[in-house]
A and B are shown apart, each in its own frame.
Chain A
């Protein structure tokens, strides 16, 4: 009896989910070993993270403040995956969405509901504008969107730093490195948790419905699955590509608006908390499915929250970032390994 590996063209969904779960588990094991080597007890730390996140209303609210934006940036990356593209620039779109929303909030005034609506739209428009050049370059000149969207992240960081420490800096209370407090706030649900998380859930549901049940969504999925077939069938691939990318940018921009208007209340450097980069991992773990983003966003929120909680224990946010990289790495391998199954080879043919 001998065995050999057989490659399957497609993977059953439950196996794909299991492969992702194993990848996350393995990353935790490696992280746990690293933590143990550095002289901590991994299980005590894990228990600490869980009680601090879910053991109190306080913890839950803080957790929600991470969960909301991660769902949105994850969704932003997930929709482009559906058409076979990568938006690695959610970080930058997040920042520019925050910039646009802050600009509207600081320099215009009106009734709060109107101003919040205007800031919401401005955030979306800002995010979409930030991805416009990479989108058009991809659509009309086939320029690699991974690199262009990513490079604009660095530009966005510089723009935010320039505005928050220069042109728009707080001149009333002289808060260093930030703009003045924006007078309009996203209403709170409970304690510090604002309504942004509801917007995130609504966006996820909306995108899931659009992709699943509309002609637009069907055409996007076909273009992503086989671009040649899509062309042949007369699907306007280029226009679908442009719409998907702009929607993705807008979603990330809205996440930035909610962060600045709901959580931070001022534009300042570093408000994105790496949400844009972590969103890529959220989207990959979700396999590009909007509903999947809810689950993987939850996992990523636990991890990011762990990083924040464990800072007091001498574990840096950067260690946690390194571990999310490990998760992505194992997931990439796991997705391939899931394609194989072990079959028994019979030694019958040899006799002839």
Chain B
């Protein structure tokens, strides 16, 4: 029982990183822009959060720092992909390479030191005393609740229950028709790509302030890519995205438990689980849930820049 509690507790904590980044990518992909720069944004957000809290020792300010750096680099990425209509795959890779390199050189003096302040778990009275699930569900830090409850509800409401959300989805499905209907395609794309990038950077702040909690080169370890894959697996839906993130949290958590309990598998091999799991998660649904395919399909204009003159 204690084992199960431990696995779930770590699963929420670890999954939160992926969930936050995946929610950002959902916003970006729903308006039609494929952002492959999550890994770089996450690294930049992570190092920014660590540097911010050494100046202002408050984890929330740290996350604000990550959000801000995400806005800056997100705006640069959106300028290239939306306004200049540059190749989204190329710009995403460029952002990943740039962000990884830049964060490593900015953060070289901070590498390996524990974070000055971290997000502490808050035990909700009574509920956290519940057996088995109590500790895992009700004694997490604030960010976990934000990622798994507040943000998915907000994003779902925005995208599926408001007029503005319908416009967003129209821009991702058929920008030419949206444009003809008087929707500002470029504006909507620009802002949601930027906001999505900002959330991905915040995921980096979460990583270095709540999960690890410290900064070192290569700390993101492919989480940005896993989050990108998660969005496809989640059928571009916010609740599915955080549920998927939780599933990956469980896989990661099993790896930790395996190492702690000396399972007869090499730790390095346990560490491959999230990556191999992601690949399996990308391939298996295609064969198993054939019927779901249409419902879970990508926005029709995903990855395609919009040229008004080619309408």
A→B interface (CB under 8 Å): 7, 86, 88, 133-134, 137, 141-144, 146-148, 150-155, 158-159, 161-162, 166, 277, 280-281, 284, 316, 318-329, 331-333, 335-337
Among A134, A143, A328, A336, contact of B286 (Cβ-Cβ < 8 Å) = A143
B222 at the interface (CB under 8 A from A): yes
- Complex formed: what's the CA distance from A284 to B90 in Å? 8
Contact between chains at A329 and B98 (CB < 8 Å): yes
- Chain B residues whose C-beta falls within 8 Å of the C-beta of A323 in the assembled complex: 101
Nearest Cβ on chain B to A335's Cβ, whole angstroms:
7
Tell me whether B301 is interfacial, beta carbon within 8 Å.
Answer: no
Partner of B86, one of A134, A141, A336: A336
Contacts of A146 in B (CB 8 A): 36, 89
A152 engages B275 (CB within 8 Å): yes
Tell whether A141 pairs with B287 under 8 Å between CB atoms, given A154-B275, A316-B104: yes
CA distance A272 to B307 in the complex (A): 40
The residues of A that contact B269 with a CB separation of less than 8 Å are 158, 162
List 5 additional A-B contacts (Cβ < 8 Å) besides A159-B268, A324-B97, A325-B99.
A146-B36, A151-B278, A152-B279, A166-B266, A322-B102
Chain B residues with Cβ below 8 Å from A280 are 93
Contact with A along B95-116 (1 / 0, CB 8 A): 1111111101100100000000
Contact surface of B with A, Cβ cutoff 8 Å = 36, 40, 80, 84-87, 89-91, 93-102, 104-105, 108, 217, 221-222, 225-226, 228-229, 232, 266, 268-269, 271-272, 275-276, 278-279, 282-283, 286-287, 307, 309-310
Q: How long is the Cα–Cα vector from A105 to B226 in the complex, in angstroms?
A: 35
CB distance from B43 to the nearest CB of A (A): 11
Ordered by A's residue number, 7 sampled pairs between the chains whose C-beta atoms are within 8 Å are A147-B228, A161-B268, A324-B101, A325-B97, A325-B99, A331-B90, A336-B87
Contact of B90 with A151 in the complex, beta carbons under 8 Å: no
B-side contacts of A284, CB under 8 Å? 90
Q: Chain B at the A interface: mostly helix, strand, loop or mixed?
A: helix
Bound complex: CA A134 to CA B278 (Å): 12
Query: Is there contact, CB below 8 Å, between B100 and A321?
Result: yes
Assembly CA distance A322 to B275 (angstroms): 25
Residue among A144, A327, A329 making CB contact with B232, cutoff 8 Å = A144
| Shortest distance from the beta carbon of B66 to any chain A beta carbon, whole Å | 18
Q: Which of A133, A154, A159, A316 meets B221, CB within 8 Å?
A: A154
Known contacts A154-B221, A318-B105: A148-B279 contact under CB 8 Å: yes
Asked, given contacts A158-B268, A161-B268, whether A335 binds B86 with beta carbons under 8 Å apart, the answer is: yes
In the bound complex, CA of A144 to CA of B92 (Å): 15
Q: Which residue of B lies closest to A86 (CB)?
A: B89
Distance A63 CA – B40 CA, assembled complex (angstroms) = 28
* Chain A proximity of B269: nearest CB distance (Å): 7
- Bound Cα distance A244, B45 (Å): 37
Shortest Cβ distance from B125 into chain A, in angstroms?
Answer: 41
Q: In the complex, which residues of chain B have a beta carbon less than 8 angstroms from the beta carbon of A318?
A: 100-102, 104-105, 108, 217
Q: Specify the main secondary structure of chain A where it touches its partner.
A: helix
Name the CB-closest residue of A to B80. A333
How far is A72 from B272 in the complex, measured between Cα atoms in Å? 27
User: Which one of B104, B279, B310 lies within 8 Å of A151 (CB-CB)?
Assistant: B279
Contacts of B98 in A (CB 8 A): 322, 325-326, 329
CA distance A284 to B36 in the complex (A): 16
CA gap between A337 and B93 in the complex, in Å: 19
Tell me how far the C-beta of B241 lies from the nearest C-beta in chain A, rounded to whole angstroms: 15
Contact B268 A88 (CB under 8 A): no
Q: What chain B residues lie within 8 Å of A137 (beta carbons)?
A: 279, 282-283
The distance in angstroms between the C-alpha atoms of A280 and B309, with both chains bound, is 31
**Closest Cβ–Cβ distance, residue A28 to chain B (whole Å):** 15
Q: In the complex the two chains form, what is the Cα distance from A142 to B285 in whole Å?
A: 12
**Separation of A333 and B101 alpha carbons in the complex (Å):** 20
Residues of chain B lying within 8 A (CB to CB) of residue A148: 279, 282-283
Cα A319 to Cα B266 with chains together (Å): 34
Q: Are B105 and A319 in contact (CB under 8 A)?
A: yes
A142–B286 touching, CB < 8 Å:
yes
A162 to B232 Cα, complex, angstroms:
31
Ranked 7 nearest A-B pairs via Cβ: A325-B98, A321-B101, A322-B101, A325-B97, A328-B94, A162-B268, A329-B94
Pick the residue among B91, B105, B226 that contacts A332 (CB under 8 A). Answer: B91
Alpha-carbon separation in the docked complex, A166 to B278 (Å): 26
Distance (whole angstroms) from the CB of A226 to the closest CB of chain B: 15
B79 nearest in chain A by CB position: A333
In the bound complex, CA of A335 to CA of B282 (Å): 31
What separation, in Å, do the CA atoms of A158 and B225 have in the docked complex? Answer: 17
A148 to B90 alpha-carbon distance, docked (Å): 17
In the complex, the answer to whether B86 meets A332 with C-beta atoms within 8 Å is: yes
Assuming the contacts A7-B307, A336-B85, asked whether A326 and B94 have C-beta atoms less than 8 A apart, the reply is yes
Closest residue to A165 on the B side, CB-wise? B268
Distance from A330 Cβ to chain B, minimum over Cβ atoms (Å): 8
Minimum CB–CB distance for B255 against chain A, Å: 11
Closest to A317 in B: B101
A335, B305: Cα distance in complex, Å: 13
Q: Among B93, B222, B228, which residue has the most Cβ atoms of chain A within 10 A?
A: B93
Given A151-B229, A333-B80, decide whether A316 and B309 contact each other with a Cβ distance below 8 A.
no
A152, A153, A322, A337 — most chain B CB neighbours (10 Å): A322
Please report the C-alpha to C-alpha distance between residue A337 and residue B287 in the assembled complex, in whole angstroms: 41
Across the interface, which residues of B come within 8 angstroms of A147, CB to CB? Answer: 225, 228-229, 232, 278, 282
- Alpha-carbon gap, A171 to B199, bound state (A): 47
The answer to whether B283 touches A158, judged by C-beta atoms less than 8 angstroms apart, is no
A324 surroundings in chain B (CB, below 8 A):
97, 101
Q: How far apart sit A329 and B87, CA to CA, in the bound complex (Å)?
A: 9
CB distance from B307 to the nearest CB of A (A): 7
Asked if B97 and A155 sit within 8 Å, CB to CB, the answer is no
Contacts of A7 on B, CB cut-off 8 Å? 307, 309-310
Give the Cβ gap from B286 to chain A, nearest Cβ, in Å: 4
CA A318 to CA B40, docked complex, whole Å: 13
Q: Distance (Å) between the CB of A224 and the closest chain B CB? A: 14
Q: How far is A325 from B309 in the complex, measured between Cα atoms in Å?
A: 30
